[in-house]
Structure 1
Amino acid sequence: MYGWWNTNSAGALLKVVLFYSILLPVIESVVIFAYNAVYNVFRSPLAAYPGPLLWAMSPIPHELSKLRGRNHTDTLALHNRYGPVVRIAPNELSFNTAQAFKDVFNTNAFSKDPALYSPTPNGTRHLNSARDDDDHKRMRRTIAPAFTDEAVRAHEGVVASLSDTFINELKKRALSGRTLNVDMKMWFNAATFDIGAQLIFGESFCSMQNGRLHPWIKLIFDYIRAQSSLETLARIIGPDWIQYLRSKLSKIQRQKMRWHFDHVSAKVETRLAQGTELKDWMTPALKTGILKDAPGVKVSSGMTRDELDANAHFMIIAASETTATTLSGILYFLCTSPDVLKRLTAEIRDSFLNDSDITFASTRDMKFLNACISEGLRLYPPVPMGVPRLAPLGGARVDGYFVPEGTVVRVCLYACARHASNFASPDKFDPGRWLDMPNGTPAMGSDNFDASQPFFRGPRKCLGEKFAWAQMRMILVKLLWGFDIELKQESRRWMEEQLCFYLWHKGPLWVRLRERSD
């Protein structure tokens, strides 16, 4: 009667339990993986596109490349091997041509990829993450008046004042002509975040006066890297798991992310109380009026309070970190190219008798300065991997290739700018390539300048491009007008040692500063 409970029966039962609870799910997973791998390689609509076999079989190799921070160099290597279009994942293609920029970004046909553009912690999308075209147009129309030519000129006082603070604080630390060893990456970040905070929240972080970054700025970098890791994992196991992954983040990390966003909201609240008297980036939105939540109601302009918070959260990063990154890269290239640095310094010092003569207008048409910035943006785009898009219903053609609907399409800025098919001597910092020769042709005839699009193009092109250029020119000119600069030995490999987690993960950029000797 109780024979079933003997040792042999118990052992058999245990084996059955183990098989159904552990081994069978494993076997099912292996079979599903194998089936998907075979389908991806032989039956997928993208099967004919060139690329490494393992990357076509599974998203894991591509996502591991991103987690390692080497996706930009890996993608360039793949384009060097396979050509202008590469299959970098089962459902993702990478292009590195100027025509691809036009085909993907000149219209709204290619939509945002939801796996990358997750909402902010308050569940609201901002100008950059909005997938709905009407929502994007409404928010852009609301913010755009802050970035017209007239508005940029109106913001010059803030940029000039804080740029002077930037120079004066460095001079204080140089101690009357003595050499100052300084991390310029930190100082560029301090300057651009102070400027951004002043124009968004109506108050500076005072990072430059304190000689160190506000703790909030470091938290922003941690937030970006955490978001990058989450989105990478979501691509491996599916976007439906993103909320689950967020819930499994450490309590401390979640608290930091929430604190960061709450800090933005509190700053916005303070700024709202100051009304429209301040002429900053918030003013147009305040003049339009804060919308109440009205689901299903389409309006031409205005933002809700949650959208205002979300956009402030995005703008403080977009307006500050990207500019600081570009300035750091340009300074590194200048210091490792002594002849270029000498020529630019001469152009700057021959153009101005006094520091006060350095303005948005007086720096706008400095040809070699603009060429140096353009070349820095080419070699060191702030968003090196670009931004992915989804092919529309019915598919579309990109640079002559048919891309099936739902395919993730990426135009990698780094792979475009560093590829020999687009630029002669692509790894060389040569601002001269951007200067016109007497016959009106570019200095290096084989260069395709449309392949360098650091601000992107089309209806979602960066709204702050004009301001970014004006700010970079002023800061760089004031720095080189006032100081002689030399790169320190420990930063000789600064560029080669960098990783990329959506944005660049930069180490200190150590230089020697000395007040100009002449």
Structure 2
Amino acid sequence: MMDLLHLLPLEVLPSPTSLTGIVLIGTTLVVSSILLSAIYNLYLHPLASFPGPLLHRASLFPYLYRQVTGKLPYSVLDFHARYGPVVRISPNSLSFADPQAWKDIYGHRSPGQEEFAKPNLFYRTKGIPPSILSETRENHGVLRKLMAHGFSERSMRAQEGIIGGYVNALISGLRGHCFGKEEKKDDGVSSEKETEQKKQQPVPLDMVSWYNWTTFDVIGDLAFGEPFGCLEKAEYDPWVDAIGKSVRFGSILLAIRVLGLEDVVHPIIEKLSNKARRFHRKRTMDKLQRRVNLTKERPDFLEGLLQKREEWGMDMERLAANASLLIIAGSETTATLLSGATYLLLKHPEAMKKLIEEVRSTFKSEEEITLSSVGSLEYMLACINEAMRLYPPVPIGMPRVVPKGGAKVAGTFVPEGTVVAVWQWATNHNEQHFLEAFEFHPERWMHDPRFANDRLDAVQPFNVGPRNCLGRNLAIAEMRLILAKVVYNFDMQLANPGKDWLDQQIFTFWDKPALPVCLTPVERNGA
């Protein structure tokens, strides 16, 4: 190339000392690099034969744009509708819509076979110790065994009093706020007429917040040995509020890592967030230290780790990383599902009527509603399963990397090093798997012959295999208990029935708006 430069007229060659020339050369190099990369991705890449949108096959940028704007899971469904069950959604990523892919990607491997590893780009953040979510296969197995103590049937029975106490606090809080804060007269007493008017006009309560306050207090107690005090104050704790506000930024940070810019951007983020990070770390360490100092054994999530802490060299930083993960995984997802289930039930009065009848006919008093007794509510479980299908708490695809030598996924050979995933929201709404895929039909989970051809195995909100959700049974029981108590105690109505609450952006988790609901306490004889 350099030998050819003498053939060009001197006047067309930019002066290397001029700013314009430097910019022109830089721009030419960048554009050339992008074009060459696109040509390679489209025609020479190991995934060149896989179908997908042209721009997504050529470059990472369309994928990252949809990700940071919260539209990617919706687009993945459109891609599968156009290109089939296997789609190339970025130069080195494939999305699978076939239910068999759950087992092939995330399931147990035969002895001697490598697992589909978790890519560090997605699961790890610089400066934060690994947790059970991001640990290696060997370390994950050790941590899982230690933490399983807190999720056992025995521990669940012992935790019932803790969980039930916060659920009762939720019901008490809803009763105290559903007609607004009572205004006092000068003599400190409200008139009977004013009280009656308030009872006739319930004020909307944001159920997203109330569910979040409940699940954060529950998980705070089970992870740190003390609640966050959200229910008591009827407001978010600053620590909890910061977690919610970081969801959107996490998507941007992931894009930065994928582009290879983390080392450049990290010092800037550290400087901008230094105060918030110090506050978060101090709060976490203070709570953790108080839990460590407890000498009495507790049926919580950290007990197993603390018992083996010295043997496994578990320092405070790693304990804090796992405790923080439990706070997010055990609260945000549960509150999300409860919010979605409440909205879907209120949008489908016939389903809500059936659920009310089941709950209120099964239990004669509120004391009968317990973590174990709600297991008999079959229609409620169908409603929860259908809500998890339509509104999965983790709607994205959890990426894995194909091991050395490549592997077959749903009957398709995939080259080694490829990032693969099953995208939950897209798979759950695929019309190839479900009749009336966008409609709320709990009956599809109750052997209704109309839905006999539905692929219910496509719905895996807790994942499958050796890294599936450790707290699945507890989460479902907690969801049932909370929903049963709310339905038993209140009649509910959407404050804005014309608004599509499900129209949300997705940044790893849902970017949930408020869900205003009017609640009217159920009056019972002798109550």
TM-score by length of 1: 0.91
Alpha-carbon distance in 1 for matches of 2:281, 2:443: 43
1:75 lines up with 2:76 in the alignment: yes
Q: Give 1:259-338 correspondences, 5 Å limit.
A: 259-291=279-311, 293=313, 303-338=314-349
Deviation track 1:363-402 (CA, whole Å, cap 9, x = no partner) reads: 1121101000000111111110121001100111111111
Aligned to 1:509: 515
Distance in 1, Cα, partners of 2:169 & 2:19: 69
Q: CA deviation at 1:242?
A: 1.4
Where do residues 99-138 of structure 1 align in structure 2 (5 Å cutoff)? 99-107=100-108, 109-119=115-125, 121=127, 123-130=128-135, 132-138=136-142
Conserved 8 A contact 2:386-2:442: yes
Name the residue aligned to 2:4. Answer: none
Whole-Å separation in 2 of the counterparts to 1:288 and 1:262? 24
Q: Give, in whole Å, the separation in 2 of the partners of 1:153 and 1:506.
A: 32
Q: Distance in 2 between matches of 1:165 and 1:492?
A: 29
Q: Does 2:474 align with 1:467? A: yes
Q: Deviations over 1:78-136 (max 9, x none)?
A: 11111111111000011112101110010362100111111474x31001111x11111
Q: Secondary structure at the match of 1:155?
A: helix
For 1:274 and 1:483, locate their aligned partners in 2 and report how far apart those are by CA, in whole Å: 38
**Structure 1 residue 257, shift from structure 2 partner:** 3.5
SS of the equivalent of 1:115 reads: helix
The answer to whether the 8 Å contact 1:355/1:478 transfers is: yes
| Structure-2 change in CA distance of 1:513 and 1:125 (3 Å) | same
Asked if 1:482 corresponds to 2:483, the answer is no
Q: Does residue 1:444 correspond to 2:451, yes or no?
A: yes
SS at match of 1:409: strand
> Structure 1, unaligned stretches of length 5 or more?
1-8, 294-302
Q: 1:343 aligns with which of 354, 360, 363?
A: 354
2:34 alignment partner AA: F
**Aligned mates of 2:178, 2:242 — CA distance in 1:** 29
* Separation in 1, partners of 2:67, 2:178: 40
User: Separation in 2 of the partners of 1:436 and 1:365?
Assistant: 17
Q: Does 1:193 align with 2:198?
A: no
The corresponding residue for 1:495 is 502
Whether the 8 Å CA contact 1:290–1:305 is kept in 2: the answer is no
- How many angstroms apart in 2 are the aligned matches of 1:153 and 1:292? 28
Alignment gaps of 5+ in structure 2 = 1-9, 110-114, 180-194
Q: 2:149 maps to which residue?
A: 145
Correspondence 1:52-451 to 2 at 5 A: 52-107=53-108, 109-119=115-125, 121=127, 123-130=128-135, 132-175=136-179, 177-178=199-200, 179-235=202-258, 237-238=259-260, 241-249=261-269, 251-291=271-311, 293=313, 303-437=314-448, 444-451=451-458
User: 2 CA distance for matches of 1:266 and 1:443?
Assistant: 55
1:243 offset after TM fit, Å?
3.0
How far does residue 263 in structure 1 lie from its aligned partner after superposition?
A: 2.0
For residue 17 of structure 1, report the CA deviation from its aligned partner: 3.8
Cα distance, 1:143–1:359 mapped onto 2, change above 3 Å: same
Write the letter of the residue equivalent to 2:138: D
Question: Normalized against structure 2, the TM-score is what?
Answer: 0.89
Deviation, 1:329, is 0.3
Matching residue's letter, 1:111? A
CA distance in 2, matches of 1:156, 1:404: 48
Per the alignment, in what secondary structure is the counterpart of residue 269 of structure 2?
coil
Go from structure 1 to structure 2 and tell me whether the alpha carbon gap of 1:324 and 1:423 turns closer, same or farther (over 3 Å shift).
same
- Cα-Cα RMSD: 2.0
> What SS is found at the alignment partner of 1:406?
coil
Q: Secondary structure at the match of 1:248?
A: helix
CA distance in 2, matches of 1:382, 1:273: 34
